Structure 1
Amino acid sequence: MVSSTQVTWQLSGFGDEIDDDPAVQIAVLQALGANHIEVRSAWGTNIVDLSDEQLQSLATLLAEKGMKVSAIASPIGKVDVTLPVRHEVERLRRAVNATTVLGAKYIRIFSFYYGGSVQVESIRDDVMERMRALADVAEEAGVILLHENEKDIFGDVPDRVLDIIQTVNSPALKVAWDAANFVQVGVKPFDEGYAKLRPHLEYLQVKDALFENGHVVPAGEGDGDVLRTVEALKDDGYEGFASLEPHLAGAHGLGGFSGPTAFGIAARAFAKVTAEAGVQTA
C-alpha cells in the first residue's frame, strides 16, 4: 500500500559494479535515473590508489556529465586489526583528498578483520583506538565517516556497531545500513537492528540477501526487510542517499560486480520497493 505522503531520496550506486570505465558507470546510472555515483574504483584502480592525475580526470568527467558523488567507498578498515594504527590513518588521508577533489562529504569505512581463532571481544580496545584515530582525521577534515556493517569485521552485528558509534562518540562517525550484510551474519535487520541504529543512520546501501544460503538478491526479494526499512526511514523523515550495491554477479574482499544488465535489474527491483513505500528517487 502506497503511503499518501511522498518524499524524495537521492539515488546513487557503486559505479564499479557496472564497469571499470567511469564513463560507462555514469551513463548507466544516469539511464536509471541517478544523479549521483558512489566511487569505489575507476579504471580498475581503487579510490585510495588513484593518482592525482587520475582523480582530476575523474572529477573533470563527472563535471562534464553533470554527475555528483554521494560517497567515497573506501576500503579503510578492511584490514587486519593487528596492523599499526597509522596504516589506515594514512590511507584515510588519501580518501579525504578524494572527497576534496570529487566534491563529496562521506567516506565509507569498516571496523577491521581479525583471525578466525581470535575472540572478537579481545580486539575491542584495538578497534576503538583505530576508529577514534580515523574519526580524528575526519573531524579535522570536515568529512563524515560511514561505518558499514560487514561480515568478519568487529562491527558485524547491531550491538557492536552501536558500541563503536557510542564509544567513539564523534559527530564525524555515522552508520551506513546494509541489510544484506546483516542477513549474512544471521541478523534480522529490521527487528534486531533498526531501533538501535536509526539515531545514527546516515546512509542507506541497497542490497538484499537470503538467510538460507547468504546469496545476494535484488532489493525486496530476500530476508533483509528492505520494504519495512524504507517505510520506517520515510516515516522517520530520512532524506539522504540510497546507494545501489547489487553484488548480483559476484563478490570479493574489496567489493562486488553486477554488470550493466544485472545492475538495471537491481535498480528496477528497488524502484518497486520505493514506489510501494511512497518514496521517490532522483
Structure 2
Amino acid sequence: MGHASWTLSGFGDEIDPDPSVQIAVLQALGASNLEVRSAWGVNVADFDDAQAQELARLLRERAMTVSAVASPIGKVSSDTPIDDELTRLRRVISHAHALETTYIRIFSFYPPAGHSADSARDDVLARLRALATLAEREGVVLLHENEKGIYGDTPQRVLDLVESVGSSALRLAWDNANFVQVGVIPYTDGWELLSSYVDYLQVKDARAADGVVVPAGHGDGQLRETMIALRDSGYRGYASLEPHLASAHELGGYSGPVAFGEAARAFRALADELGVTLS
C-alpha cells in the first residue's frame, strides 16, 4: 500500500460567513488551508482591495494559508461578452495575489438557453483561451471545476476543453459529486481521460439515485478509487472539503460547523484507511 501526504483545506463559507469562525473551525479539524469563496457574506469576485487585505491579515495572524480562490468566473452564459469575465478575472487575480495563492477555481460557461453544449463549444473555447492567456501573464493557474450544466460537465467535454485550450495555466479541480449528478460514474468514466490534468481534489460525494450530496465515501462518487489512484500516482496536492450537506444554492453551498465536521471526519476516516496523511 502506498503512502501519501495531502494538504487539507475547505470552503470556509460553508462553515460561517465570518472568516474568523471559518479559520477556527478548519484549524480545529486539522486543516492548514482555507479555500476562499466568500467572507462576510461577500463573494470573492466582489471583494474590494481592503477586504482582500483584511482577510490576508486574519490568515497571517492565525498562520493559515489559502489553497485556492473559488471564483464564480465562467458561471455565466457563453454568450456573455468575454470582456466582462476578463474584467472580473483581473479583480480576482489581484485578490489571489493578496491572499498569496496561485490557484483560482473557474467554470466553463453555460450554453445559452435552448442551445446544446456542442453548439456553444466555439464560444466556450474562445473565452477559456482568453482567460488562460490572462492567467499565464499573471502567474496564476485556473482550475476548471466539472460543474453540473456548464460546458465541461462530462469527462469527454472536460478533456476537449483542456486539450483545445492547451495552456499550462488551465488545469482541473476534480469533483466526484458533480460527475455523479450528471450521470457519470466518476472514476470509471473519467479518471483515465483526465488524471494527467488534475491538480486539485474537491472532496464531495453524492448518491446516483437522487443526486443528494452525502459525506465522503457514503455515495456513488467512487471517492475511494479516486483517492487510491491519486495516492499511487504520488499526488501531493490539496484535498478541499466542500460538503454541501445542509443546503445547496446556485453560487455555493452551506453546511454549518457541525455538518462540516461530520464531512471532515468521514474524509479523514477514508484517508486513514488508505494510508493518506492529511495536514
TM-score range, shorter chain: over 0.9
| 2:108 maps to 1:79 | no
Matches within 5 A, 1:1-282: 3=1, 5-282=2-279
Q: How far off is 1:116 after superposition?
A: 4.5
What is the one-letter code of the residue matched to 1:10? Answer: T
Give the distance between the partners of 2:116 and 2:49, measured in 1 at CA: 40
What is the one-letter code of the residue matched to 2:77? Answer: D
Give the distance between the partners of 2:85 and 2:190, measured in 1 at CA: 27
Identical pairs, percent: 58
Structure 2 unaligned residues grouped into runs of 5+ = none
Give the distance between the partners of 2:262 and 2:58, measured in 1 at CA: 26
Give the stretch that moved more between structures: 175-184 or 248-257: 248-257
Q: What TM-score, normalized by structure 1, do the two folds share? A: 0.98
Give the distance between the partners of 1:60 and 1:197, measured in 2 at CA: 36
Give the distance between the partners of 2:52 and 2:28, measured in 1 at CA: 24
Which stretches of structure 1, 4 residues or longer, exceed 3 Å deviation after superposition?
A: none
Give the distance between the partners of 1:186 and 1:254, measured in 2 at CA: 21
Give the distance between the partners of 2:116 and 2:268, measured in 1 at CA: 41
Structure 1 unaligned residues grouped into runs of 5+ = none
Give the distance between the partners of 1:278 and 1:231, measured in 2 at CA: 9
* Contact residue 117 and residue 151 of structure 2 kept, 8 A: yes
Q: How far off is 1:118 after superposition?
A: 0.9
* Contact residue 78 and residue 112 of structure 2 kept, 8 A: no
Give the distance between the partners of 2:16 and 2:192, measured in 1 at CA: 36
Q: How far off is 1:126 after superposition?
A: 0.1
Q: How far off is 1:272 after superposition?
A: 1.1
SS in 1 for 2:199: strand
* Contact residue 86 and residue 131 of structure 2 kept, 8 A: yes
Give the distance between the partners of 1:110 and 1:7, measured in 2 at CA: 29
1:140-180 per-residue CA deviation (whole Å, 9 max, x = no partner) reads: 00000000001110000000000000000000000100000
Give the distance between the partners of 2:171 and 2:112, measured in 1 at CA: 26
* Contact residue 79 and residue 112 of structure 2 kept, 8 A: no
Q: How far off is 1:82 after superposition?
A: 1.0
Q: How far off is 1:218 after superposition?
A: 0.4
Give the distance between the partners of 2:229 and 2:111, measured in 1 at CA: 34
Give the distance between the partners of 1:270 and 1:143, measured in 2 at CA: 28
Give the distance between the partners of 1:51 and 1:87, measured in 2 at CA: 17
